[in-house]
Each structure stands twice: as structure tokens, then as C-alpha cells.
């Protein structure tokens, strides 16, 4: 019910404010179509999301740790937080029981205090990290 209410409020906000813009950039085709159905005036330009691959070149000084998994993302964004909470609640206990030597490393800005509490199930919560590429390479 909360998510439905939030979605309705967001749609109302978008319908009210989108006509004030001269153009809008969407990062997916689905977003562009959705914005048009909300009455967004043209142009709605599709600009695919991308990354600068040079930032993700192997760093020879960082040796990946064996048997690790990671998730990195803004943990103050509700879909990311809900995904992590679901993983920790529904998947990780079974996975950890079957493969107890694998570590899960979580990082992201806005990490809530509830996730930062010490754990004993091979889940390491780093909070904000200075270098996402280094983090991803270390815990690939």
C-alpha cells in the first residue's frame, strides 16, 4: 500500500511538473515511453546509461579475494535497500548454510545503521566506499 501511494504521488508530481521543461533525457526506452504517456512535451530524448570503461581497468595492486560476492549501490534508494534486505532475509541464510566460506560484501552510500550492525554470517557491510571500481575488483 505504501509503495502504491508513493507511486501515485510521484506520478501526480511528474504530471504537474513535466510540462515546465523544454526537454527531458530518459536513460531507458521504457522511461521515455512512460514520460510521454504522462504528458511530457517533446523532445523526450533517449540517452542510454553507460560507464567510462577506462575507470574499470584491472588494478594490479588489488588482488581479488577468493569466494566473495558483492553488491554496491545507493542504500538510501528504496529499491536497492529492499533488494538487499530481501537477499539477507530470504536467500543468504540458506546460501550461507550450504556454502559457509563465501563472503558477501555490501557497500553503498546512505547505508542505514540497521545494516551496519556486526554480523556473524560472512556478510561484511562497508558502507560508503571511496572507489567503486576498486571495491568491485576486490570482491568480484
CATH number of the CATH domain containing 74: 3.40.50.2000
Give SS3 for 34. Answer: helix
Residue-number span of the structural domain to which 80 is assigned:
55-138
The per-residue pLDDT for 127 is 94
- How many independent structural domains does the chain possess? 2
Q: Quick one: 29 and 82 in the same domain?
A: no
Query: Which tens digits make up the pLDDT trace of 57-75?
Result: 767 777 777 889 999 999 9
DSSP strand pairing (123-127 vs 103-107): parallel
Its pTM stands at: 0.65
Q: Quick one: 69 and 28 in the same domain?
A: no
Note every long-range contact of 124-132, with CB atoms under 8 Å and residues 24 or more positions apart, other chains counting: 129/72, 132/72, 132/107
Q: Quick one: 62 and 86 in the same domain?
A: yes
Report the alpha-carbon distance of residue 62 to residue 140 in Å, rounded. Answer: 11
Q: Quick one: 65 and 6 in the same domain?
A: no
The per-residue pLDDT for 133 is 85
Q: Tell me the CB-side half-sphere exposure of residue 41, using CA atoms within 13 A.
A: 8
Query: Which tens digits make up the pLDDT trace of 96-120?
Result: 999 999 999 999 999 999 999 888 9
Q: How far is CA 47 from the centre of its chain?
A: 19
Q: Quick one: 107 and 76 in the same domain?
A: yes
The per-residue pLDDT for 82 is 93
The per-residue pLDDT for 2 is 80
Amino acid at each position: 500500500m505504501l509503495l502504491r501511494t508513493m507511486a501515485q504521488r510521484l506520478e501526480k508530481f511528474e504530471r504537474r511538473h513535466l510540462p515546465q521543461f523544454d526537454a527531458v533525457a530518459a536513460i531507458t526506452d521504457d522511461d521515455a515511453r512512460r514520460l510521454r504517456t504522462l504528458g511530457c512535451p517533446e523532445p523526450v530524448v533517449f540517452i542510454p546509461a553507460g560507464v567510462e570503461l577506462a575507470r574499470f581497468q584491472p588494478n594490479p595492486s588489488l588482488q581479488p579475494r577468493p569466494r566473495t560476492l558483492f553488491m554496491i549501490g545507493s542504500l538510501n534508494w528504496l529499491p536497492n535497500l529492499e533488494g538487499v534486505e530481501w537477499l539477507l532475509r530470504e536467500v543468504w541464510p540458506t546460501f550461507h548454510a550450504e556454502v559457509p566460506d563465501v563472503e558477501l560484501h555490501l557497500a553503498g552510500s546512505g547505508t542505514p545503521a540497521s545494516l551496519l550492525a556486526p554480523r556473524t554470517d560472512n556478510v561484511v557491510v562497508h558502507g560508503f566506499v571511496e572507489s567503486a571500481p576498486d571495491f568491485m575488483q576486490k570482491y568480484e
